[in-house]
Structures are given as structure tokens and as C-alpha cells.
Amino acid sequence: MRTQITEMFGLRVYTDRAVFIGNVDDVVLDVDQKKIDALAVGELNPEIGEVKGYTGLQIPFRIVKSVGDIVIVRHIPGLFKSPTKED
């Protein structure tokens, strides 16, 4: 996965189960290892019950699956709700 860091700002972040998390506000770098450590995500989805009240969230870059027009991260059970199915 190779992309310019500046291209990541403002991208929408979703889990691989189509749950919207928020938008990339910043990128946390590990300068010693010369790699991205985490994504700082803001404008959080208020429907994600477990993160209500927070203004931001750091998502470890190791769970990022893909970066393109959006960022897709691995779904972590219990942290993010799955989308509800309507009958």
C-alpha cells in the first residue's frame, strides 16, 4: 500500500462491514521506524455507540486494509456496530 500522506487527509473511514467511522484528520508517524503508526479520525459517526462523546479516535495503521477514495479498516467486534439489516 503506497500513497502520499497528504492525500489521506479528509478521506472517509469505513470498516470492512460498511460502518462509517469518520474522516481522517491527521496521520501519526513513527519517525524511528519510518512508517505510519495510526490515523487520527475526527467527525465521528454518532451512531457508533462505544465512541460517543469523543471528538476523535486513533486507529492503528496495522488494521487498515486499503487506502483509495476511502480508507477501509478491519472490523473489530465490539468496538464498532455492524450495520442493521432492515426487513
pLDDT of 46 reads 79
Q: From CA 58, how far away is CA 2, in angstroms rounded?
A: 20
In percent, the amount of the chain with pLDDT more than 90 equals 57
Residue 52 has pLDDT above 60, yes or no: no
Residue range 41-66: mean pLDDT, rounded: 82
Q: Which residue has the higher pLDDT, 37 or 77?
A: 37
pLDDT of 20 reads 92
| pTM: predicted TM-score of the whole model, two decimal places | 0.80
Range 5-73: architecture per CATH: Roll (2.30)
Angle, CA 1 vertex, CA 34 and CA 25 arms, to 5°:
70
Domain residue spans in the chain?
5-73
Residue range 24-32: mean pLDDT, rounded: 95
